[in-house]
Amino acid sequence: MKYTVGRDVSNNIQLHSRFVSRHHAVLLRVPGGEPGIYSYRIIDGDLSGKPSVNGLTINSHSKVTSHDLNHGDVISLAPNVQLVYLIDETSDGVASSEADLIGFERN
Task: Render pLDDT for 4-36 as a digit per residue (tens, 0 to 9).
Answer: 999 999 999 999 999 999 999 999 999 888 888
Q: In what order do the strands lie in the sheet with 66-68?
A: 13-14, 2-6, 25-31, 38-44, 66-68
Pairing label, strands 103-106, 2-6: unpaired
| Residues 41-77 pLDDT 10s | 999 999 898 999 999 999 998 889 999 999 999 999 9
For residue 72, which amino acid is it?
Answer: G
Who contacts 53 (Cβ-Cβ below 8 Å, separation ≥6)? 21
The Cα angle at residue 99 between residues 22 and 27, in degrees rounded to 5: 25
